[in-house]
Amino acid sequence: MISTAHAPDARAASVTHLGSVVLHSYDGSGADRQRDDDAMLDESDARLVVSVVASGAAASGRDGTIARLEPGDVVMHNSAKPRQQDLDGVAAHSFAVRYADLGLPRSTVEPRLPQRIRADHPLAAVVSAYLARLAQVAAELTALELRGLEGPTIELIRALMTTEPGDDAHEGDPLARTLGARIMEYIQQHLADHGLSVATIARAHGISERYVYVILERLGVSFGEWVREQRLSACARALAQPSSSHVTVSAIAYRWGFADHAHFTRVFRRAYGMSPTEWRRLHAPLQEQLSHAPLSRPPLPGGVGDAT
């Protein structure tokens, strides 16, 4: 879905929805603001906003500390926190992600914000190129295609969020700096494996189990608790999807690492306040709507401007 609206400081702007991820693209002129357009949310509705500069030179910061941003640089911030930015003649794209969808403890994310990662950081270069290209072609994609890009986009942002902070891309061993990101990505990719453990993570990365715990502790992650939460979240999404309506609750639970159905039901109820069956029934109307929703590309509006 793409929409536009008028704003005094933007020559062209659009808002695109990739599932739950919201993309803002704009080409600003003389934008010198005390807070971001999407910072109108209160803290309870806050999102992680990841912005990439496509062209031009921007300035962004908070509390009187302003950093100059060059093309390819990535900056991350909390949408509810005030910040100052100068976007005069700058083309940029911002991706707003719900904290719950990141799969990271908010206590891990918040201390790193706001954070700028230079374009010559190896992982930032990959993420920046992907986000910029996605923003360029978003208007050509169907609603179904955009929804399909939600997961990969969140995964890349998560990987970037778990890299070691710092602007100097050449400080230290690149493999060591990205170890946290690689471990978290490994866990995400193996959530459905019943044998997932700290030991398997250690073997896959050639490190000791103790060092895995050290890395996870730095990220504010408790392995068992985090894996359980992510598996429950995956089960909740599957139970709410029309494509899974024919799959039994037990099969979905097993698919995501829960071998004991009774145990799964207990922990699901504790996390969501209802049984998996009740959760599925609650989302049945949404499933029905989605199954009949048109997937054709919506017409593009002709206006220009900015939207929040």
Banded model confidence at residue 175, pLDDT cuts 50, 70, 90: low
According to the model, what pLDDT value does residue 70 have?
79
Nearest to 119 by CA among 27, 55, 29: 55
Which tokens in the block code for residue 79?
């949408």
Structure token digits, residue 165: 């902070």
The fraction of the chain above a pLDDT of 90, given in percent, is 30
Residue 155's pLDDT is 85
- Which of 107, 288, 88 minimizes the C-alpha distance to 280? 288
pLDDT at 124: 82
Average confidence score pLDDT of the chain: 77
Read off the tokens for 94.
């911002």
The encoded tokens of residue 254 equal 């097993």
Least confident residue range of 23-27, 162-166, 175-179: 162-166
**Residue written as tokens 């600003």?**
28
Q: What is the side-by-side order of every strand in the sheet holding 21-28?
A: 2-3, 10-18, 21-28, 91-98, 47-55, 74-78, 115-117
Closest alpha carbon to 87 in 11, 14, 4: 11
Residues 2-13 have pLDDT tens digits of 333 333 344 447
pLDDT for res 83: 67
Model confidence pLDDT, tens digit, residues 215-232:
888 888 889 998 999 999
Which residue type does 115 have?
A: Q
> With pLDDT > 70 as the criterion, what percentage of the chain qualifies?
71
| Domain 174-291 in the same topology as domain 2-161 | no
pLDDT at 126 over 80: yes
pLDDT tens for 192-216 read 999 999 999 999 988 999 999 998 8
Where do the structural domains in the chain lie, given as residue ranges?
2-161, 174-291
- pLDDT tens, 15-72? 899 988 999 987 765 444 444 444 444 566 788 999 888 887 666 665 555 567 778 8
| Confidence (pLDDT) at 243 | 83
**What does the pLDDT read at residue 307?**
38
The residue count of the chain comes to 308
pTM of the model: 0.58
Cβ atoms of residues 125 and 73 within 8 Å: no
> In the CATH scheme, what is the code of domain 174-291?
1.10.10.60
Contact by Cβ (8 Å): 156, 130: yes
301 and 16 Cβ atoms separated by less than 8 Å: no
Rounded average pLDDT over 132-160: 89
pLDDT tens string 238-286: 998 888 888 999 999 999 999 999 999 999 999 999 999 999 998 875 5
Rounded to an integer, the average pLDDT of 106-110 is 75
Structure-block tokens of residue 287: 């499933």
As its CATH architecture, domain 2-161 has: Sandwich (2.60)
What is each CA distance from 148 to 81, 137, 153, 245, 303, in whole angstroms?
30, 14, 9, 19, 27
3-state secondary structure of 300: coil
How far is CA 161 from each of CA 86, 117, 158, 199, rounded to the nearest angstrom? 24, 10, 5, 24
